[in-house]
Amino acid sequence: MVRISLRGRRTRAWITAVGVEPPQGVGLSEITRISGHGPPSAIVELASWASERWVGPRPRFLRTATAPRNISRVEPRAATSPAGGVEHPLIGEALRHRLSIVRTPPSVSDTEIVRTALTRGRGLILLPSVDRARALKRDLIRAGSEIAMYPDDWALSAGGVSTVGARSAAWAPVGDLDVVVVVDEHDEAYQEESAPTWNARDVAIRRAHTAGVPCVLTSPVPSLDALHTARLVVPSRSDERRGWPVLEVIDRRRDDPRAGQWCSPRLARIVTSDRKVACVINRKGRARILFCDGCGELATDDHGRPLAQEGEDLVSPVDGSRRPVVCEHCGSTRFRRSRIGVSGVVTELEALAGRPVVEITADTETVPPADLYVGTEALLHRLHPSDGIQTVVFLDLDQELLAPRYRAGEETMALVARAARLVGPRENGGRVAVQTRLPRHPVIDALLHADPGRFVAGELRLRTELALPPAVALAMISGAAAPEFVSRLGSPPGVTVMGPDEGRWLVKAPDHHTLSAALTGVKRPPGRLRIAVDPLRA
């Protein structure tokens, strides 16, 4: 890292190359100070690749790869492996290949996975959260390994110590790697929300590929992106099923329409039992889904997407197609709206259960001990297995399954997997219950059998038919300057532009190289412009 004078200001800069001629018209600036160590050359090259892959300025990536404070000295360290322990057989198998995705049941611990990987030597280990990374570091140190936590232990990492961390650790300076591991690769926390929307999993895969070492991805519900590129390693059916809790499907199609909007008779028995229960409703206000007043079936199109009622028609919010207000299952012309949310449940649940209810949302600062919780998805992040939750209930899983996003099925699988990790395996009494009017949905079928593979094949076929990732590369363009940018983009060969829809355009290409080439070839107009490659919410 160095300091230079730029337009009258002293600013931090990176040395990215030496012995090169400056571009024509670019003047040289004198280095006023050497601040300390910066990212190694391999990381500088990685930043150049990422800049093209996610269509963003290289300094954004270099900042993530830079130590939080000046590092004046780096001492080389030898790699250490954890002592003892039982080798995880699936991880051992994955290490024999360059890129593998291991389908690990939710009950498998992070430490069990990583200890096996580190028998290979020096490793880079990514986890979805800082808390999990710190817990893993403690466990590995107890087992005799020297471990660096990124970015706090930047100098140790640069010296060659095996490194753990969350998303930003994909840019850790540790060199001479022997193995790269990404735990819970499906987790959305690995993707940067602000543009450039890089994903730590993909950066880690690139690092391992460049270094020529194995990259092991793990997940109880592997993402379709990972399955599209990596070799799948699966446990035996008995081992996988044993690692999941019991899933109970509460079919609400036959419930009396006069009953409560959110509470089935079975749910009433669950919340009035002596079990510690957490109820999830992923809406703070009130959500609306149409269901038939006669048979209880949901109003959906041919692809399972929810329909809205406008006058005498049922309308698709995706393509605007219309059809009469008639149930395709029983012929009824009457539909009801499901309106439930956290704000409408807490008081009624407390009265029904006859015990205190603690509400948890993303705004909740502290979580007091209780036997009955209700809240949004944040509840699953704030509670821990040590809290002793025995049952998680999704009050309306259809809100997740029918979300207007192409990744809704994957997101629902991930949500239930997080709940499964909270309650523990079936042999310990772990239980997850879901209320739904779509009991035959492929996601529910896969979860019911503790076999995520039952969902994948059909979903991949559907994505391919609809030209959606991972079959294609996708970017979302938005911002005040988006109309001008899209106009300048035009219609390059192999690239499809769709929109605008609420001020956003979708750009599709057969692969990321074609997509990046098209987007980077456009001169950016002045004004705010957001280019989100691989958008999570498309």
pLDDT tens profile 174-192 = 999 999 999 999 999 999 9
Same domain, 487 and 435: no
Q: Which of 235, 266, 299 is the last residue of a domain?
A: 235
Same domain, 102 and 22: no
Asked if 397 and 434 count as a contact pair (C-beta separation under 8 A), the reply is: yes
Residue at 255 is within a domain:
yes
Q: Which of 462, 488, 513 is the last residue of a domain?
A: 462
Same domain, 181 and 199: yes
Distance CA 159, CA 174 (A): 7
> Is the model more confident about 322 or about 163?
163
Residue at 416 is within a domain:
yes
On average, the pLDDT of the chain sits at: 92
β strands within 127-253, DSSP E: 147-149, 162-165, 179-182, 215-219, 231-233, 246-251
Q: What is the pLDDT of residue 97?
A: 97
Residue at 200 is within a domain:
yes
Backbone phi, psi, residue 335, to 5°? -125, 150
* CA atoms within 13 Å, Cβ hemisphere of 368: 6
Task: Report the SS3 class of residue 404.
Answer: coil
For 447-458, how does the pLDDT look when each residue is reduced to its tens digit (9 = 90+)? 999 999 999 999
Q: Which of 235, 266, 298 is the last residue of a domain?
A: 235
Other Cβ atoms less than 10 A from the Cβ of 75: the count is: 10
Query: What is the pLDDT averaged over residues 244-268?
Result: 82
Of 487, 475, 485, 495, whose CA–CA distance to 524 is shortest? 485
Same domain, 482 and 426: no
Q: What is the pLDDT of residue 263?
A: 82
Strands 308-310 and 313-315: antiparallel
Q: What is the pLDDT of residue 85?
A: 64
Other Cβ atoms less than 10 A from the Cβ of 502: the count is: 6
Asked if 534 and 493 count as a contact pair (C-beta separation under 8 A), the reply is: no
> Is the model more confident about 25 or about 443?
443
Domain that holds residue 227: 89-235
pTM higher than 0.85, yes or no? yes
The percent helix, strand, coil of the chain (3-state, each to 5) is 30, 20, 45
Backbone phi, psi, residue 443, to 5°? -65, -45
Query: Cα–chain-centroid distance for residue 128?
Result: 8
Residue at 94 is within a domain:
yes
pLDDT band at 287 (very low <50, low <70, confident <90, very high): very low
Q: What is the pLDDT of residue 300?
A: 86
> Is the model more confident about 5 or about 388?
388
Distance CA 505, CA 174 (A): 39
Residue at 497 is within a domain:
yes
Residue at 334 is within a domain:
no
Q: What is the pLDDT of residue 341?
A: 61
For 28-57, how does the pLDDT look when each residue is reduced to its tens digit (9 = 90+)? 888 999 999 999 999 999 999 999 999 999
- Identify the sign of the CA torsion 525, 530, 532, 536: negative
pLDDT band at 262 (very low <50, low <70, confident <90, very high): confident
Residue with tokens 């995880």: 88
Same domain, 360 and 432: yes
Same domain, 228 and 259: no
Question: Quick one: tokens of 493?
Answer: 């060969």
Alpha helices in 165-311 (DSSP H): 200-211, 224-229, 237-242, 265-271
Asked if 12 and 1 count as a contact pair (C-beta separation under 8 A), the reply is: yes
- Least confident segment among 305-314, 354-363, 462-471: 305-314
Residue at 67 is within a domain:
no
Residue with tokens 């498309």: 538
Percent of the chain with pLDDT over 70: 95
Is 70 exceeded by the pLDDT of residue 194? yes
Is 80 exceeded by the pLDDT of residue 304? no
Q: What is the CATH classification number for the domain harbouring 418?
A: 3.40.50.300
Beta-carbon contacts of residue 452 (< 8 Å; ≥ 6 apart):
103, 220, 221, 222, 413, 446
Same domain, 277 and 229: no
Q: What is the pLDDT of residue 329?
A: 87
Q: What is the pLDDT of residue 384?
A: 94
Q: What is the pLDDT of residue 261?
A: 65
Is 60 exceeded by the pLDDT of residue 258? no
Of 305, 186, 197, 223, whose CA–CA distance to 470 is shortest? 223
Residue at 228 is within a domain:
yes
Same domain, 387 and 413: yes
Please state the domain count of the chain.
4
Query: What is the pLDDT averaged over residues 263-288?
Result: 83
Same domain, 406 and 495: no
| CB neighbour burial string for 130-161, b if at least 16 within 10 angstroms, e if fewer | bebbbbbbebbeebebbbbbbbebbbbbbbbb
For 319-374, how does the pLDDT look when each residue is reduced to its tens digit (9 = 90+)? 678 889 999 888 888 887 765 667 668 888 888 888 999 999 888 889 999 999 99
Of 340, 341, 369, 371, whose CA–CA distance to 354 is shortest? 371
> Is the model more confident about 75 or about 292?
75
Other Cβ atoms less than 10 A from the Cβ of 16: the count is: 15
> Is the model more confident about 408 or about 264?
408
Same domain, 402 and 441: yes
Is 80 exceeded by the pLDDT of residue 84? no
Is 60 exceeded by the pLDDT of residue 285? no
Same domain, 199 and 93: yes
Strands 99-103 and 231-233: parallel
Beta-carbon contacts of residue 457 (< 8 Å; ≥ 6 apart):
none
Distance CA 189, CA 177 (A): 24
> What crossing angle do the helices spanning 130-142 and 110-118 adopt, rounded to 10°?
60
Same domain, 16 and 129: no
Percent of the chain with pLDDT over 90: 75
Query: Cα–chain-centroid distance for residue 141?
Result: 28
Please report, for residues 141, 273, 280, 306, 334, the alpha-carbon distance to residue 303 in angstroms, rounded to integers and kept in the order given.
Answer: 50, 38, 26, 9, 22
pLDDT band at 288 (very low <50, low <70, confident <90, very high): low
Asked if 117 and 81 count as a contact pair (C-beta separation under 8 A), the reply is: no
- The H or E element that residue 431 is part of is strand 431-436
